[in-house]
Structure 1
Amino acid sequence: MELRRIVTFTRIPDTGERVKVSGLLAVPVGARGTLPLLSWQHGTILSFDQVPSNLLRLKDENYELRDNVDSIETLFNIQRFAGNGYAVVAADYVGKGPYRNGRSEAYAVKGATVQCCLDILTAGLHELRTLSLRQSNLFLNGWSQGALNTQWLKQELQRRGIKVRATATQSPFNDLAESFHYWTNPTAYIPASETSYPMPPAWITPCLIVLLGSYRRYYGLTDLFKTAVKPHIKPSRRNTGPITASRARSRRAFRPPAISWSKASSIASPTRPTAHCCAALVAMVRRTGSTIPRSDFTTGWPMRRCIPGWCGPQSPPAGISPRASRSMAQAIAARSCRASMAKRPF
């Protein structure tokens, strides 16, 4: 495969800002004429550079892939699709990748996300033309956060009259309002008669912090953290200011703020937002039309059988689990990418 970084500008509808964003284009080496195009939307990442375009690191034959550093799920899609004659385009998202420039991400912010994916898709089509290639059918695919983004993207493409041949999503949190309630207060959300619902995994807490920051930054909800962080928790002088190399080695420099769901659960559950904060999130979701209508679900899973916001038991692509796909992607995709790099430069 030939991998190229896409760089373009996008405008954030909610703030009017024009920002530089990046993405990845992967095409089969030696492709000619027309070929199907897949727009891939990656899942939640808690770092800033575990993005599709940084797979260009593979140009170094000695580079070793790492699950917590590289976008293995993107590599899996490249292997499965570009390895079978598709072109693959993938956005890094706003606030992610090499052109982040200190900007916070727009996690679950519909307008900014959709516009970024559209602009990267447009830039990818332009890059295809520079390679004397043309798109035939358009396909969409996404996982977790990317599954939500995929369905938002599909809605906008349909609104614009752009035909999508097929859409696939895995483990989406379609209903944001329900997901927020489940994430923040699972013991109250899960019916007492249900024994099969798992509790949210530990990484949901940093996701909530990212979500709060995103809605504060892009929707102007300036009081979100005031309503979420316990009043008696105040910033310490030793944890303010830039994080230097010596401070980065201290675990205290990365300690997340203490969050509570209610007075009754402040001690038992110190990592859940307050009801007022959750209500503000839900109100913004409804105002922006961010929840996917059930008639638009692309997974085929009834909501009652889905666990909102849970990215575990639902079906991954082609029935292969994420853990199983990692070793396959590393063994097959990395080898095929590196073999093609010897033939064609980036």
Structure 2
Amino acid sequence: MFSSLSIVHLSVLVLAPMAILSVLFLIFVMVRYRREETSPEWIEARQYADAKGLSQEQWLTLSAMLKRFATAGPFEAITYRHEFDRCVRDQMNAIKEMAPREKMGEALREIREALELATVPEGARWSSTLDLEEKQTVKARPVEQDSSPMHEFYIKHVNDAFFYLTPRHSDIMKEMPVGSRHVIHACHPGDARYEVIAEVADARESPAQVVFGHVFEIKRLQARAHERSAYTLPTPVDMFVVPEENAHDPLPWLYNNDPMSQGTGTFMNLSAGGYAAMLHAAPPPNRAYARVTVTLGREDFPPFTVFSRIVGTVALAENRTLVRAAFVDITPRQKEAIERYVQQTLQQEQEDQTAPEGA
């Protein structure tokens, strides 16, 4: 009897302090969180989120992430893209299962868009694959196949957990099992070409789709070699698709064959190396070349036609496509004329910006 009472008393003596400590810790956490949410910086962050139209559910998701992972203040974390990206990275690393990661990725992408942190300005540098844009084309190959050609993919969807690629040719799916690593090249308009090495998180059929986790180590490969300027003139566009056996030396084939299709487009910008243009057509297939007409508005330099290789496409609504292209048979004299045009245009833009108002 005495032994039994001793055990009971001993248990009470041990467990009671533990229970008291647990309650005190819970009170401490609640007070801390309450103090955080009523601090000036949290009030400012909440007001900003409300102004951007975040719902109560979105705010709860966002604030929970910030409390766990933000290294800066909450307002900085929701107004500076790099701070927000850092929180997203840590949040995703804390979730291991595919379905919860996708769900959180969709929720955070909606929050990112509401906070206007989803779009990287043209010319600004990418910092991770979170900056990829839907409807772009990218190229990829397995890491270990250095000499293999890169295959073309279409960015079907991007959320804050994954990016989803649809291959132009579905038979490439057999080279992309879950866990395999791939070199991916993507172009950011107005800036450069980027390279990442990403791992396949999931491979899906019907429709064929490869899911990659985001990569935060991104390599900037190639900056723009030529200055460019705005150039908004219409042009006829003759589209050619070079056979694979002629891809290594396309010009003889281009000079001796008829176009696959003929249409129109509008230049968006121009440089001595190439251009961006809006085509009134669906995205062209792989190995596409366009013959366009460049008009510089000079009496001493008449309009000229030139072949260009399509290096990037973005599908848009209403059957339109934004293309980036590099000239492949431009002459030195034509290149010099474009460079002069670009310099004059940029100089005029600068003068217009510095001119006093009302002048």
The answer to which structure, 1 or 2, has the higher relative contact order (CA under 8 A, 6+ apart) is: 1
Q: Which has the higher strand share?
A: 2
Of Structure 1 and Structure 2, the greater helix share is in 1
**TM surpasses 0.5:** no
TM-score scaled to structure 1, two decimals? 0.23
**TM-score normalised by length of structure 2:** 0.22
